[in-house]
Structure 1
């Protein structure tokens, strides 16, 4: 079990930080490649997302609703709306609808919830007990090193923030027995973060 957990922990950051960037794919290719990797990883390591859990759906809907409400409040307040409008547009070279309807839910949320919450963290918890949760969140953070470097974001801060988010996602998964709750929260955070600045620019009369 320890060897299996070690191998399972090494593969996701290796994929995200080395293999995937080396392929030189555009965003559509990355989404397809990520989906294939996540499906194979979940199959090999016997992940169990339990997507249809009613408890997971309820908890995820509540968590996502709170996040969406927060974004809506930020857009409604002039000061925060102007701040959002002033952020750099760091979206990929695809239409906003494609980005938020396909690449964020499929290429990011689905793949990461399959790999981490459905598979890796439960496996690490079996091998290391409660410490496995922290290890899973840490690996989740490490997997964002190359994306942070590519976006010129501070690597240490990105790893820390992503790791903390991983702990929250894992808590939802553990409390509901399903990856659905963290997936819905993850989707609300990422899609809201993509849409809010663009909506703010429209509201203040700026560029899209």
Structure 2
């Protein structure tokens, strides 16, 4: 994908096309319309939202978070949060990993092996974004692999990719909105 040198909107469209095709070919099982998935996902997302709210409310943490406000993409924040995060990132990654790859790995290696291999693969998937953002690659791999473990546990518990998708959205959207809110809410603004 990086070699295509697409701008953000093109990458979002390419991610959606690839994820959808991948899930169709490998018989992904997202079970998007699961009440159980919705319930677990909303509960997990609310914990993350509360955490971001608390972080922005605490002056020392708010100041630190505000330092990330300059890392916004080259599209308006509302477009980033309403389109690119939920569709280009969350839908695509949850469809690829939790709805398709992890169940395939479970079938081949059992639940434990599938979860571990899926989480490591999810971590490695984030090498290029970490490099592009100037973040530590090993730390990004570790953090996203840990997230992959949590997302997969949610998928297993809820029987749906909806639960990890809602948590994934809360983490990413909160990470985009918190710096903006931190700067807007600081006494010097």
Partner of 1:150: 132
Within 5 Å, which residues of 2 pair with 1:1-208? 20-129=1-110, 130-204=112-186
Normalization by structure 1: what TM-score?
Answer: 0.88
Structure 2 gap segments, 5+ residues each:
none
Residue by residue over 1:25-77, the C-alpha shift from the partner in whole angstroms, topping out at 9 and shown as x without a partner, is 00000000000000000000000100111111000000000100111111111
Aligned-residue Cα RMSD (Å) equals 1.1
CA–CA distance in structure 2, aligned partners of residues 73 and 158 of structure 1: 24
Query: Retained in 2: the 8 A contact 1:124–1:133?
Result: yes
Query: Retained in 1: the 8 A contact 2:69–2:183?
Result: no
1:205, CA displacement in angstroms? 5.1
Structure 1 gap segments, 5+ residues each:
1-19
CA–CA distance in structure 1, aligned partners of residues 124 and 170 of structure 2: 22
Give the 3-state SS of the residue equivalent to 1:126 in structure 2: helix
1:156, CA displacement in angstroms? 1.0
Query: Retained in 2: the 8 A contact 1:85–1:206?
Result: no
CA 68–111 in structure 1, closer or farther in 2 if over 3 Å, else same: same
CA–CA distance in structure 2, aligned partners of residues 68 and 57 of structure 1: 16
1:84, CA displacement in angstroms? 1.2
Normalization by structure 2: what TM-score?
Answer: 0.97
